[in-house]
């Protein structure tokens, strides 16, 4: 009995015939990568520290959408002529961080500072208001 080559498990070069071809990471996740960050709650504020090397302060965009904070930081795409990377597309991707922080923060009083690739964002907490309208 002759075996059909397409049904033979070793007929293809793909060792996992049931899976599709691998898609590069940058194509799956889009044009951005998530930066490393640290989030600390203080008594009167929330402090975020994002590590975004290679970013100019003028390009950082902070966007508030309801309870979400979206930080977009484009990298400067300068590559030295004598430098090669195997995965250059992942090295050059811009940063984007999307955090759901809630409605208890005063986003209008947000303060951000970028120093040597470290972005520090401080968001004060909203003051609690009692039933009679006075601040607690």
* 17 within some domain: no
* 70 within some domain: yes
Please tell me the predicted confidence (pLDDT) of residue 33.
Answer: 87
Task: Enter the tokens of residue 12.
Answer: 């293809």
* 106 within some domain: yes
* 129 within some domain: no
Please tell me the predicted confidence (pLDDT) of residue 127.
Answer: 84
* 25 within some domain: no
- pLDDT tens sequence for the chain (136 residues): 555 555 555 555 555 444 444 444 444 456 788 999 999 999 999 999 999 988 888 889 999 999 999 999 988 766 666 666 555 555 568 899 999 999 999 999 999 999 999 999 999 999 865 445 555 5
**Alpha carbon distance 49, 118 (integer Å):** 7
* 9 within some domain: no
Query: Cβ distance 119 to 47 under 8 Å?
Result: no
Please tell me the predicted confidence (pLDDT) of residue 54.
Answer: 85
CATH number at residue 50: 2.60.40.790
Query: Cβ distance 100 to 114 under 8 Å?
Result: no
Split into its structural domains, the chain has a count of 1
The contacts of residue 123 (CB under 8 Å, 6+ apart) are 45, 46, 47, 48, 69, 101, 105, 106, 107, 109, 110, 111
Please tell me the predicted confidence (pLDDT) of residue 132.
Answer: 53
* 18 within some domain: no
Of 59, 48, 61, 54, nearest in space to 77 by CA:
54
* 35 within some domain: yes
**Alpha carbon distance 44, 39 (integer Å):** 14
Range of the domain at 96: 30-124
Please tell me the predicted confidence (pLDDT) of residue 31.
Answer: 76
């Amino acid at each position: 009995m002759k075996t059909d080559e397409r049904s033979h498990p070793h007929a293809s070069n793909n060792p996992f015939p049931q899976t599709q071809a691998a898609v590069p990471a940058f194509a799956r996740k889009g044009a951005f990568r998530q930066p490393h960050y640290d989030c600390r709650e203080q008594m009167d504020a929330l402090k975020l520290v994002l590590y975004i090397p290679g970013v100019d302060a003028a390009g950082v965009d902070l966007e508030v959408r309801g309870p979400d904070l979206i930080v977009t930081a484009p990298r400067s795409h300068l590559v030295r002529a004598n430098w090669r990377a195997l995965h250059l597309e992942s090295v050059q991707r811009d940063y984007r961080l999307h955090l759901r922080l809630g409605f208890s923060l005063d986003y209008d009083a947000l303060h951000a500072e970028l120093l040597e690739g470290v972005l520090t964002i401080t968001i004060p907490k909203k003051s609690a208001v009692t039933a009679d309208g006075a601040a607690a």
